[in-house]
Amino acid sequence: MTAAAVGRGRLGKSLSAGLAVCAALVVGAIDAGRAEAGSVAACGPFGNPPATFLGAVKPRCGDGAVIGPWNDADGIERYACLYEPAWADREHKLPLVVFLHPSLLPAGNVDRTDLVEAGKTFALSGDPKRPGFIVIAPEGRKTSHHYPFPDHRGIGWDNWYRQLNPTGAVTVGGISYKENADAAAIDHFVVHEIASGKVDTSRIYVSGWSNGAAMALLYALNRYKIAAAAVYSAPNPFGAFDDPCPQKPVAGAPANDREIQIFNPRVPVMHVRNSCDVAGICPNGGELAVELRAAGVKLGDVVVDWRNRQVDECADYCGIDPNGEGSILRNPLGYLIGLPHHLRWPFAWNSPMLDFFRSHPLK
């Protein structure tokens, strides 16, 4: 058999496997759509209602420590994974990086980013006498999502109910709106670690991946204690795919329910996203960049190709809809090509993201 024939054979097998995945996703998406039919959200001043709770999750933290349980306002047990360098103490305070995991994957997947390893050596404080940093990875819950199948439910973060007022519960129009349960859980674990006395509170940063990146952005944009955020492949937390209640972020009081106030618009943000990503996340990230800059956010928007080299724009063959291309029928290449890109962490950008953190202490 010739080399060309072998190549064609491998290509055929790859295409067959890809088509099989596509077929499974199409069937699953149709079934999911039937199951969700008729479930229309009632939009309000904070976007969607709180996500439907489906189950609690206790993480496996590998070499880290399991923190918790702590019961949130809904009585749900919440946990986090904690990774501290051995020399972190009250005399050698270290920066803190909060990492939010992707949907469908638990908190222990922070190990897939090399951030824990970097926390043992990288001088995030800017002081070579204080190398390293602390990593804490809170665990999400199993809830409903406004994402395409198979991510329409499972472990993740509720970035669709956008009540992240730093003061907690608020009353609007005579109705009391409780704080986003996930934001409250992140608050708890950050405060828990600060109370240890080991944290340099001028250097608390947030990172995340996919749905965790969306939640990390939403959290950083509403918490004054966050010095900077650097995330990877975030769907727009203010509107993506089949979100029934998208909102525009604004720095001041919202004019109506189509807008949502962010309380920390001065936080520096870095977003690394793939030029070809699953479900049209790249053009959706472009829309996010426009919205954040319009709200006064200082954003470093980095688009990378499959080799993790920076490029100027998204690949149109993976989707052009600024709302995202959730349907595999409309965006097959976004799934066949973009999904493998989405499922890998951009290791080449770890140092630039950490450098970004280091150059932005809290002012």
Residue 111 sits at the vertex; the CA angle it makes with 115 and 138, to the nearest 5 degrees, is 85
Q: Is residue 85 within 8 Å of residue 94, measured between CB atoms? A: yes
Question: Does residue 106 sit within a domain?
Answer: yes
Q: Which two tokens stand for residue 13?
A: 């097998």
Question: Does residue 86 sit within a domain?
Answer: yes
239 Rama sector, left if φ>0, alpha if ψ -120 to 50, beta otherwise: left
Match 């190709």 to its residue by tokens.
Answer: 305
Question: Does residue 24 sit within a domain?
Answer: no
Strands 134-138 and 94-100: parallel
Q: Is residue 228 within 8 Å of residue 360, measured between CB atoms? A: yes
Q: Is residue 163 within 8 Å of residue 73, measured between CB atoms? A: no
Question: Does residue 236 sit within a domain?
Answer: yes
R_g over Cα of the chain: 20
Taking alpha carbons only, the member of 140, 70, 147, 144 closest to residue 107 is 140
Q: Is residue 236 within 8 Å of residue 291, measured between CB atoms? A: yes
Q: What pLDDT does residue 72 have? A: 94
Taking alpha carbons only, the member of 231, 339, 340, 344 closest to residue 279 is 339
Which pLDDT tens digit goes with each residue over 145-201?
A: 999 988 999 999 999 999 999 999 999 999 999 999 999 999 999 999 999 999 999
List, for the chain, all residue ranges whose pLDDT scores fall below the cut of 70: 1-41
What Å distances lie between residue 284 and 218, 251, 275, 322, 349, CA to CA?
15, 21, 11, 4, 21
Question: Does residue 6 sit within a domain?
Answer: no
Question: Does residue 11 sit within a domain?
Answer: no
Which pLDDT tens digit goes with each residue over 159-168?
A: 999 999 999 9
Beta-carbon contacts of 199 under 8 Å, excluding residues fewer than 6 positions away, are: 93, 94, 95, 96, 134, 193
Look at the chain and report how many structural domains it folds into.
1
Beta-carbon contacts of 261 under 8 Å, excluding residues fewer than 6 positions away, are: 249, 250, 251, 252, 253, 254
Domain span at residue 178?
Answer: 42-357
Question: Does residue 79 sit within a domain?
Answer: yes
What CATH number has the domain bearing residue 79?
3.40.50.1820
Q: What is the spatial distance between Cα 266 and Cα 229, in angstroms, rounded to a whole number?
A: 11
Match 């950083």 to its residue by tokens.
Answer: 220
Q: What pLDDT does residue 33 have? A: 41
Question: Does residue 28 sit within a domain?
Answer: no
